[in-house]
Amino acid sequence: MAQFSSDKKLQSWKAIANFLEHSERTVRRGEMQEGMPVDRHQHISGSRIFAYPAELSKWLSSRKPAVAINSASALHKKPCSAALPFVKISWLSWQR
């Protein structure tokens, strides 16, 4: 994460994206789908967004990984042998 003053408001998608070191599209999706703490000023013509770095940092640290591995044995499973020839063939055809 980029270093920002914790009391300074981030007042655009671009500023929030720079803080989180992600694209603006990813940040917008984070707000819509994952509950990222972004606030809005309501105006007649539309709304302006803002967020506080301290809230974003807290939200980011509280998020759970998308895929949780429940057992250590899952790390040691071998790939399915039926899929290997397909992967090899598609990779070779891509090389041409």
- Segment 41-50 shows an average pLDDT of 78
2 contacts 21 by C-beta, under 8 angstroms: yes
- Write out the residue range of the structural domain in which residue 54 sits: 1-65
**Which pTM does this prediction carry?**
0.59
Domain membership of residue 81 (yes or no) is no
CATH number at residue 3: 1.10.1660
In a domain, 78, yes or no: no
- Range of 17-26, 60-69, 83-92 with top mean pLDDT: 17-26
Give the pLDDT of residue 40.
Answer: 87
Q: Looking at the domain assignment, is residue 10 inside a domain?
A: yes
Quote the percentage of the chain above a pLDDT of 90. 40
Maximum distance among all alpha carbons in the chain? 60
Q: Between the CA of residue 10 and those of 6, 34, 45, 78, 86, what are the distances in Å?
A: 10, 19, 21, 46, 47
**Is 84's pLDDT higher than 70?**
no
| Mean pLDDT score, 14-30 | 94
Tell me if 82 is assigned to some domain: no
Task: Classify residue 37: in a domain, yes or no.
Answer: yes
pLDDT > 60? residue 86: no
51 within domain boundaries? yes
Q: How many structural domains comprise the chain?
A: 1
